[in-house]
Amino acid sequence: MTVGLVVVSHSRALAEAAVELARGMLPGRELAVGIAAGDVDGGLGTDATAIADAVTAVDGGDGVVVLMDLGSAVLSAETALEFLDDDQRARVVLSPAPLVEGLVGAAVVAASGASRDRVAAEALQGLAPKQAHLAG
Amino acid sequence: MAGAAGAAVDAAGLTAWVTEFARLVHEQRDELTRLDAAIGDADHGANLDRGMTAVVAALEGGPADDAAAVLKTVATTLIKTVGGASGPLYGTFFLRAAGALDGGDASAFAAAVRAGLDGVAARGKAEPGDKTMLDALTPACDALDAALAEGRDLPDALRAAAEAAAGGRDATVPLVARKGRASYLGERSAGHADPGATSAALLVQAAATALAGGS
């Protein structure tokens, strides 16, 4: 199994495009990634119960890293943890990484079979290449 | 003693409470949106009205014999339908209240709403004075506890709580927001009541109205 990823965004289109970008790095590789984005009517918004469902769907037992955009996406991701049982909650990490950069970094190492903590650490490093490039 | 009027806090009483809250939110929808337009993204009234309309519909369709289940239904419905930050915040309030509700008397109700308040504070990482819904809910819970401790009955204690919530709401006018989107405005967020504190005051007012019977 690989570590699961969940993308939480106010916008379904934004989440789907971010996943497409990450998958583009991994042609033919297996990646467990779920999306919880947009409100029930397809507008902008986040839904903690949808996040909890997405976590459960990608959780194969090796852990889940949740990446999110901003504002209420963060509050909703935290609220989602309340809907999980204790064992599953302990396997989930909410990543403070930037959504796009964090997702791409996390996806690459998750697809290689890395541990949850390694995937979460890679997500956090997501900004480093851009920062290094622009500082140079 | 407080127990005399405690029979109101059952599934039917809690349903009446949130139904009255939904009515007030609908009635005040434009005012909530106007306040949010001043310091936020102008969606609080519409979001909360949509959420509470869905709550009323969900409670009409579901069994109403379990008080905690009523609060849980309110929580999950708001979380699914509100979209903005007030979804997880009000959702957490009702989720924690549902988990803490133990019994149907006034003190059980007070303990449940206190647990809800603590949940909101933890979720939002906010404290009183940050210009949030806590500025109405915190003095309301304090007034409720104090009144019950003095031996006042639940309707009387809830009236005191509603007055404290309204006072807390009014006290947010000069404050500078430190949480949420309003915090980006800095000093410009002063001069308007906080929309979250305003809707939270409606929640307490609804309790005072709906749970006043049976004493």
Instruction: Order across the sheet with A92-94: list the strands.
Output: A33-37, A4-9, A64-68, A92-94
Nearest Cα of chain A lies from the Cα of B203 at a distance, in angstroms, of: 21
Number of domains in chain B: 1
pLDDT in tens, B147-186: 999 999 999 999 999 999 999 999 999 999 988 878 888 8
Range of B71's domain? 3-210
Which one, of B89, B149, B138, B78, lies nearest residue B114 by Cα? B138
As a whole number of angstroms, the distance between CA B99 and CA B14 comes to 14
pLDDT in tens, B28-84: 999 999 999 888 878 899 999 999 999 999 999 766 679 999 999 999 999 999 988
In a domain, B215, yes or no: no
In a domain, B41, yes or no: yes
Residue A37 backbone phi and psi in degrees, to 5 = -150, 145
Q: Which of A10, A12, A91, A116 is catalytic?
A: A10
In a domain, B136, yes or no: yes
pLDDT in tens, A6-30: 999 999 999 999 999 999 999 889 8
| CB contacts, 8 Å: A76 with chain B | 79, 87-88
As a whole number of angstroms, the distance between CA B130 and CA A63 comes to 35
Is A133 annotated as catalytic? no
The radius of gyration computed from the CA coordinates of chain A, to the nearest angstrom, equals 14
In a domain, B70, yes or no: yes
Q: Supply the pLDDT for residue B63.
A: 63
In a domain, B175, yes or no: yes
Mean pLDDT of A126-132: 93
In a domain, B89, yes or no: yes
Q: Is A75 on the interface with B (CB under 8 A)?
A: yes
In a domain, B137, yes or no: yes
Residue of B nearest to A75 (CA): B88
Residue A85 near residue A100, CB atoms below 8 Å: no
- For the domain that residue B130 is a member of, what is the CATH number? 1.25.40.340
As a dihedral over the C-alpha atoms of residue B84, residue B64, residue B24, residue A83, rounded to 10 degrees, the angle is: -20
pLDDT above 90 as % of chain B: 81
Which one, of A1, A110, A115, A103, lies nearest residue A61 by Cα? A1
User: Which residue bears the tokens 């989720």?
Assistant: B95
